[in-house]
Amino acid sequence: MIRRGGGTIGRKFLLAGCSATLMATPALAAPWVRGYVVDKYEPAFYYGAKNGTMSAGSDCPKGTNPDNNYNVLLKTSWRPDAEVEDILRPATLQVNGKFNTRREQRLSAALRNRGFRRDIDSWVNPFTAPDPGTQEVTGKIAEGFDLDRNPKTGFTSPGGEMGIDNNLYRVMGCNMSYRGVPYTAYLSTRATDKMLEGLYTIVVRVSGNKDPMNDDDAIVEIGYSPDHIIKNSVGVIPDYSYKIAKSAQYTRMKAKIRNGVIETEQVSELRLPVFAWFENNRGEALFYNGRMRLTIEGDAGLKGLLGGYRDWRDVYGKDTFDTSSSAGTRETYYRENQIGKYYSFKRNADGVRDPKTGKNIGISAAYRFTAVRAYVVDPVKPATINEPVTSSVPGVYRALFLKAATTKAVIPGPPRKAGEYDGDSDPKDLSPESKPTSSKEVVANNGAPVPAP
Amino acid sequence: MKLDRRFLLRGMFQGSAISVALPFLDCFLDSNGAALAATGKRIPTRFGTYFWGCGLTKELYLPKKTGLDYDATPQLAALEPYKKKINLISGMRAIVDDSPNYQHWTGSAAISTGICPVKDRQFDAQTIDQTIAAAIGQGARFKSIEVACSGNKGDSVSSLGGPNTNPPEVSPLGLYTRLFGPGFQDPSKGDWKPDPQVLVQQSALSVVADDRKRMLQYVGANDRARIDQYFTSVRELEQTMAAQLQRPEVVAEVAIPSAPGEMEVNKSVPVLRGVVPVMAQLVALGLATDQTRVVNVSLAEGASTIFMPGDPKPFHQATHEEPIDAALGYQAVTSHFSTYSMEFFAMLVKALDDVKEGDGTLLDHSLLLAYTDTGFAKLHTLDNIPMFLAGSASGRIKTGYHIAGGDSPVSRVGLTIQQAMGIPIDNWGTGSMQTKKPVSEILA
């Protein structure tokens, strides 16, 4: 591992000698290589308002999706109204001497069960709950690619290109966590901060044989680097070296360059690190029929757009089960609705037809990023991916969901552990309800009880 | 005479056989040397921590100026009366290297241990207060005292390492009972008596003295020197105990109040406004009467769920759900909770500064680290984590400064604290958090 701090000097000049001649002065009709490290990365969701994150705009005329109406969501044939009322009591409202300080945890737990029977895990079996409806993007403009090469379907790009396919945006673009001018949405800023902090690193390498600004025979590689991004208080520092891992989360594509705009071929599988904001949800993103467009921005860096079809069941599964109960976080803190999302994914799946069912399992998507100049190097010993430190339980949930979604049979969820850590919210909220604390509860520094006076 | 690591010093006390294992005493004594150096008639320097969750609002707390006489900011208004006795440290960060950023955990653990933890909710080393308590705490009745103002026993931030924390007192009455209940001898009263437990321990050491002399006849010069060194520690322990058998040299002007009644304890801000001042005063009394020299006060957990009755969301939830106000540039409701957290810190500072002690106050003879878990709770950032050092540690720390950390590791503060408290180390932390650079601007 190459550390930050003192180690960075070594990193900065690692292999610089052999790469500098390839990078510093692009030579015409000669082999060349340019490397970049991604410093911002987010879903390419077009924001139809002028500023902020909540305003109504051409994308979402009603503005950002409001908080869920939990009275409606929790209303089932089997759940008494009094139970709903007690769960939803404001955390700060005292009744019978008790605050409801664990309201969000109670609410999250209750939201898991809103199917036609109390014992059904609705996030594993979303089809057992009615579609609550969700505001989808109704605007006409979106970023992305014409993946199906049909200009009559999809959005129009900000530049006027017809047929832009980005239905992930249609499904999720009005949600609070994803809305805002580029790189300002809540989860975008959070994910970028974590990426710069060392959660994961994405590198891009472009190479060719002619002119870096115009080359019909270029190669684009994108992948994971085990090296942490080197930054200071201003931002990512250019010209550091990053190893690239090729074992997974990696794709190599042919490309053509015209006036500094790099267009890759459309590949059957485009793999790279997934957009992530904490340990549990990082990993690989797989885009079917994927492609990229990179625009070189002088010597400083580039901006990129990538797109393709993602298996919507995989997107739903990871979004709902980053942890065993992350759907609860989505449906409370993030004001999203997983059941509504499930139905919206099904409605908007627009690619990758399953030959067995005849239904689409792919949803078109696009992500954008910016990158800073760097050295992307192949180490002597192949670089490997630092796998996330996560529990295997979320994977069990995702598999159960996939089985349920495929068979439409109600699948029981695995038994939950008491106090299971969500990972994305407060793990240890042992908040006491309001009560006088008896001296009998006092313990000494070494754990020994102290007698009451 | 066979000497090995299982060797026991044996003797008789009140008709019963007693034995003392060398490793136990050795370990015990190693942790006492510095404390002994601090005993005598000098006023001891105390150490404390104050922890609050979810950080501050940069737009409201961060002064534009650095150094002395920095500009006042709204979120630090409650601390303004004590500004000259406090250092504000901004712009430092926890560097995770290959460890994950465990939300509401990594930042605070990094500050208190100098290590970004490998596992969630586990400390990779003992917290700094325990390191300091081992050095200065001996001679006091309790090595350290932990207090959770939230009433939640899980909210202690003090640990000997691993997943467990030192159990906190969770109510004013509990804290009072601990400090001034059974076993407490008011040093200002005429009927002061030594602790019977210390008497027993001293007697135990005394009866093994003969065995000690006999053993020395059977070892060579080198071992004799080593064992003599060891027995020096034994003698130091005896002296420590002797100190405990004497009335504490209390110079503070304090009187022990009667026990507080049972109080409602929870995370409601109005309730905390009643509980925290009482807790703070009891903590100050505990330090002033040398019941302990190390205290750890937590307001609530890292993902702080303190709340204001009538507000729709508790603190942590608000950090996630409240949008940034486009006009203000920050989260308005969330910022109130950060301001409350500073008000509670000011209550603790006030309690220590209200106790007159020698030529100054208890605060002047203390060093109080106030810290949190994140720089910006909405994003769980690990840079720009605000910290404070209150008190001058008996003149070892210069105060009244705003120090801009320049993106350096938060472990610099821990190194500074330990050096000020007399711990002989020149570096602290691991990985990219390892530092040899204390905040030299404030080291006297």
Q: What is the pLDDT of residues A425-447, one digit of tens each?
A: 443 433 333 333 333 332 333 33
Residues B306 and B338 in one domain: yes
Are residue B438 and residue B382 in the same domain, yes or no?
yes
Residue A49: strand, helix, or coil: coil
Q: How many CB atoms lie within 10 A of CB B163?
A: 10
Model confidence at B84: pLDDT above 70 = yes
pLDDT band at A303 (very low <50, low <70, confident <90, very high): very high
Tally the domains of chain B: 2
Under the banding of pLDDT at 50, 70 and 90, the label for residue A5 is very low
| Domain-ending residue, one of B211, B246, B281 | B246
| B102 contacts on A by Cβ (under 8 Å) | 279
- Residues A5, B166: C-beta atoms closer than 8 Å: no
Return d(Cα B22, Cα B7) in angstroms, integer.
7
Q: Predicted confidence band at A2 (pLDDT cuts at 50, 70, 90)?
A: very low
Closest Cβ opposite residue B432 in set A3, A94, A453? A3
**Which residues in A65-96 are b (16+ Cβ under 10 Å) and which e?**
beebebeebbebeeeeeeebeebebbbbeeee
Cβ atoms of B351 and B45 closer than 8 Å? no
Nearest to A453 among B154, B259, B406 (CB): B259
Which are the contacts of B234, defined by CB distance < 8 A and separation ≥ 6?
B25, B29, B205, B212
Contact (CB<8Å) B178/A279: no
| pLDDT grade for B244, boundaries at 50, 70 and 90 | low
Across the interface, which of A1, A194, A453 has its CB nearest the CB of B177? A453
- CA A363 – CA A313 distance, rounded (Å): 9
B432 and B292 in a common domain: yes
Tens digit of each residue's pLDDT (9 = 90 or more) over A33-78: 999 999 999 999 999 998 888 889 999 999 999 889 999 999 999 9
Please give the mean pLDDT across all residues of chain B.
84
CB A313 within 8 A of CB A360: no
Distance CA A315, CA A327 (A): 13
Q: Does residue A83 belong to any structural domain of this protein?
A: no
ipTM over 0.85: no
CA terminus-to-terminus distance, chain A = 57
Residue B157 sits in the same domain as residue B55: yes
| Gap between the Cα atoms of A129 and A357, Å rounded | 22
**In the predicted model, what is the mean pLDDT of residues B279-296?**
94
**What pLDDT, on the 0 to 100 scale, is given for residue B151?**
93
Tokens of A204: 């891009």
**B285 pLDDT band (50/70/90 cuts)?**
very high
Is residue B110 a contact partner of residue B93, using CB atoms and an 8 Å limit?
Answer: no
Q: Does B129 touch chain A (CB under 8 A)?
A: no
Q: For A334, which residue in chain B has the nearest alpha carbon?
A: B321
Position A341 scores a pLDDT of 97
Query: Would residue B101 count as lying in a domain?
Result: yes
- What whole-number distance in Å separates Cα of residue A231 and Cα of residue B95? 11
Tokens found for residue B368: 């109080």
Contact call for A333 and B382, based on CB within 8 A: no
Q: Are strands B86-90 and B401-404 parallel, antiparallel or unpaired?
A: parallel
d(CA B107, CA B129): 16
* Chain A environment of B265 (Cβ under 8 Å): 432, 436-437
- Mark whether B242 and B289 lie in a shared domain: no
Chain B residues close to A67, C-beta within 8 Å:
321
**Of the partner residues B265, B305, B431, the one whose CB lies closest to the CB of residue A101:** B305
- Closest chain B CA to residue A437: B171
Please answer yes or no on whether A450 and B182 come within 8 Å at the CB atom.
yes
**Would residue A294 count as lying in a domain?**
yes
Give the minimum alpha-carbon distance from A332 to chain B in angstroms, rounded to a whole number.
Answer: 9
* Angle, alpha carbons B160-B163-B165 (nearest 5°): 50
Cα separation of A88 and A101, whole Å? 11
Name which residue leads in pLDDT, A453 or B395.
Answer: B395
d(CA A133, CA A138): 14
B170 touching A (Cβ < 8 Å): yes
User: Is residue B38 situated within a structural domain?
Assistant: no
Window 247-286 of A: residues touching B by CB (8 A cutoff) are: 278-279
Q: Report the gap between the CA of B429 and the closest CA in chain A (Å).
A: 13
Residue A125 within any structural domain of the chain: no
Q: Is B35 part of any domain? A: no
Tokens 């350290």 belong to which residue?
Answer: B144
Is A374 part of a structural domain of the chain?
A: yes
What's the longest Cα–Cα distance across chain B? 82
The size of chain A, in residues, is 453
Taking an 8 Å cut-off on Cβ atoms, the answer to whether B152 and A199 are in contact is no
Distance between CA atoms of A174 and A59, rounded to whole angstroms?
A: 8
- Annotate A114-139 with DSSP letters as a single string: -SSSTT--TTTSGGGS----------
CB contacts of A441 in chain B (<8 Å) are 170-171, 174
Does residue B259 sit in the same domain as residue B185? yes
Structural domain includes residue B117: yes
- Which CATH number does the domain housing residue B288 bear? 3.40.720.10
What torsion, rounded to 10 degrees, do the Cα atoms A306, A310, A312, A315 define?
A: -70
Nearest residue in B to A192, CA atom: B379
Per-window interface: A 346-385 vs B, CB < 8 A: none
Asked if B299 and B169 touch (Cβ cutoff 8 Å), the reply is no
Window 311-340 of A, Cβ < 8 Å to B: 332-335
- The answer to whether A198 contacts B97, with C-beta atoms less than 8 Å apart, is yes
Q: What is the C-alpha separation between A49 and A54, in angstroms, rounded?
A: 9
Query: What's the domain count of chain A?
Result: 1
Write b or e for each residue in A363-401: b if 16 or more Cβ atoms lie within 10 A of its Cβ, otherwise e. bbbbbbbbbbbbbbbeeeeebebbebebeebbeebbebb
Q: Identify the residue among B432, B433, B434 best suited for mutation to test binding to A, counting A beta carbons within 10 A and taking the highest.
A: B432
Between the two ends of chain B, the Cα-to-Cα distance in Å is 52
Q: Give residue A89's pLDDT.
A: 87
B417 CB-near residues (< 8 Å, 6+ apart): B47, B128, B132, B367, B369, B389
Which comes out higher in pLDDT, residue A18 or B138?
B138
Give residue A84's Cα distance to chain centre: 31
How sure is the predictor about B181, in pLDDT bands with cuts at 50, 70 and 90? confident
Q: What is the pLDDT of residue B198?
A: 62
pLDDT tens digits, B357-376: 988 999 999 999 999 999 99
Task: Tell me which chain A residue has its CA closest to the CA of residue B179.
Answer: A444
Instruction: For residue B208, give its domain range.
Output: 1-30+193-246
With respect to residue A312, please indicate whether it lies within any of the assigned structural domains.
Answer: yes
pLDDT of residue B227: 64
Closest CA–CA distance from residue A204 to any residue of chain B (Å) = 22
Contact list, A333 vs chain B (CB under 8 Å): 317, 320-321
Which residue of chain B is at minimal alpha-carbon distance from A233?
A: B407
Looking at residue B359, its pLDDT comes to: 85
**B408 near A CB under 8 A:** no
Using 50, 70 and 90 to split pLDDT, how confident is the model at A12? low
* Contact status, residue A57 vs residue A48, Cβ threshold 8 Å: yes
User: What pLDDT shows up at residue B45?
Assistant: 95
Q: In A, which residues are within 8 Å of B321 by CB distance?
A: 67, 176, 333, 335
Which residue, among A35, A60, A20, A29, has the nearest Cα to A294 in the 3D structure?
A: A35
CA distance A23 to chain B (A): 29
In a domain, residue B123? The reply is yes
Interchain contact, B177 vs A439, CB within 8 Å: yes
Residue in A with minimal Cα distance to B263 = A436
Give pLDDT, residue B312.
76
Domain presence at residue A247: yes
CB contact under 8 A, A52 and B323: yes
The DSSP output letter for B78 is: G
Specify the length of chain B in residues.
Answer: 444
Q: Are strands A201-208 and A215-225 parallel, antiparallel or unpaired?
A: antiparallel
Q: Which of B124, B112, B110 is nearest to B383 (CA)?
A: B110
State how far residue B210 is from chain A, nearest Cα, in angstroms: 33
Asked which of A209-223, B4-18, B72-86, B310-324 is least confident by mean pLDDT, the reply is B4-18
Q: What pTM does this model have?
A: 0.79
Q: Do A453 and B181 touch (CB under 8 A)?
A: yes
- The answer for A 108-167 residues in CB contact with B (under 8 A) is none
Measured from the Cβ of residue A249, the count of other Cβ atoms closer than 10 Å reads: 23
Interface contact A435, partner B, CB < 8 A: yes
Res B240: pLDDT? 54
* Residue B117 touches partner A, C-beta closer than 8 Å: no
> CB–CB of A90 and B177 under 8 A?
no
Residue in this structure with the two tokens 């600004």, named with its chain if needed: A213
Neighbours of A31 (CB within 10 A): 10
Range list of β-strands (E), A215-346 = 215-225, 241-243, 251-258, 261-264, 267-273, 284-297, 301-311
Q: Which of B98, B312, B382 sits opposite A386 (nearest CB)?
A: B98
Those residues with Cβ within 8 angstroms of residue A288's Cβ, 6 or more apart along the chain or in another chain? A268, A269, A270, A308, A309, A310, A311, A351, A352, A362
* Cβ within 8 Å, pair B96-A197: yes
Judge: B97–A91 Cβ closer than 8 Å, yes or no. Answer: no
Considering only the beta carbons, identify the residue of B100, B263, B307 that sits closest to A92. B307
Range of the domain at A232: 7-63+131-407
Q: How far is CA B110 from CA A196, A311, B156, B357, in A?
A: 18, 39, 15, 33
Residue B319 and residue B252: Cα distance in Å, rounded?
42
Q: What does the H/E/C string look like for B387-423?
A: EEEECCCCCCECCCEEEECCCCECHHHHHHHHHHCCC
Q: What per-residue confidence (pLDDT) applies to B19?
A: 38
Interface contact B379-A190, CB threshold 8 A: yes
